[in-house]
Amino acid sequence: MAPKIFIDGEHGTTGLQIRTRMAGRRDVELLSIPEAERRNAAMREDMLNSADVAILCLPDDASKEAAQMVAGNNNVRVIDTSTAFRVNPSWAYGFAEMDKQQAEKIKAARFVANPGCYPTGAIGIIRPLRAAGILPDGYPVTVNAVSGYTGGGKQMIAQIEDQSRDDAISAPHFLYGLTLTHKHVPEMKIHGLLDRAPIFSPSVGKFPQGMIVQVPLHLDDLAEGTTLESIHAALVAHYAGQEIVTVVPLDESRKLPRIDAVELAGKDTMKLFVFGTPGASQVNLVALLDNLGKGASGAAVQNMDLMLAS
């Protein structure tokens, strides 16, 4: 019998994209509730407890409630796409490529916390450098990023696409998270293996899907002898043996005049680049992804497939 999957929040931005990715799949059975009943707690509880894998695509509070609804039912495994459980040690962190053991941890887990979109890029860059001893304790890491506006869910999509609203956003590009206390900072610190919280400056551009995450570094403050080439080699070694996170060869990235935030829109992969001038003292590490692809729905489906393969 095909495993049953219930997407709680299936009519929201992340949920819909997961449904699209599952369309036509015969190896899973999708359980569903009508859109008008999406907040019917009794129906949701029933569906959640009928599923083999429940994928929660809800705000944090609703995710916590849903997790509670299935807590006593060991037949149900859970993937949560919210921020609620990402730094909870009882939940496996759903970034399969972040180290060599992570895919096995996800396969075996009952509870998987899907990573945030920005942290996927930031951790994808930072963690390999911490693991290789290149990025020392105390380094003041900064993370600067731009996301497509679907990152803000139904609310922000409406604010940008419907300019007649009182709360419409007309800016073509805006910074936010100005208090430097964005909800993704703890996740970046813990799964990035950092001893100091990074300064995180997010922004949104007037395009629906896509994301650039930048981590600029001073080579003089890294492990002795670190060069642009050795950072690139460490990333290549870290991501060897899989196809979802790729490290762009230096001879290719050197020729690029610019990076397009929407290049990977609609894709579930992530590209990493090492920019800078050979022999100079600074590098800029860049992750390119789709906030709704490897940054959310694509990663959720990848995690579901790992869990079903166990």
Q: Any idea which residues carry the catalytic annotation? A: 117
92 interacts with ligand NDP by CB under 6 A: no
HSE-CB at 256 with a 13 A cutoff on CA atoms is 14
Residue 306 Cα distances to 54, 212, 302, angstroms: 14, 26, 6
- CB closer to ligand NDP out of 58 and 228: 58
185 interacts with ligand X2W by CB under 6 A: no
255 phi/psi in degrees, rounded to 5: -85, -10
Smallest distance from ligand X2W to CB 262, Å: 14
From the list ligand X2W, ligand NDP, none, partner contacted by residue 154 (C-beta under 5 to 8 A by kind): ligand NDP
153 interacts with ligand NDP by CB under 6 A: yes
298 interacts with ligand X2W by CB under 6 A: no
> Which of 306, 266, 255, 305 has its CA nearest to residue 289?
266
- Helices 153-161, 13-22: axis angle to 10 degrees equals 100
116 interacts with ligand NDP by CB under 6 A: yes
Contact present, 289 and 7 (Cβ < 8 Å): no
* 223 CB-near residues (< 8 Å, 6+ apart): 133, 134, 135, 136
What CA–CA distance (Å, rounded) separates 250 from 92? 33
Q: Please name the residue that has the structure tokens 């609804």.
A: 69
Binder among 63, 83, 209, 303 for ligand X2W (CB under 6 A): 83
Q: Which range binds ligand NDP by CB under 6 A, 95-103, 126-134, 151-159, 186-194?
A: 151-159
204 interacts with ligand X2W by CB under 6 A: yes
213 interacts with ligand NDP by CB under 6 A: no
From the list ligand NDP, ligand X2W, none, partner contacted by residue 202 (C-beta under 5 to 8 A by kind): ligand X2W
Could you list the residues that contact ligand X2W (CB under 6 A)?
Answer: 82-83, 116-117, 147, 151-152, 156, 183, 202, 204
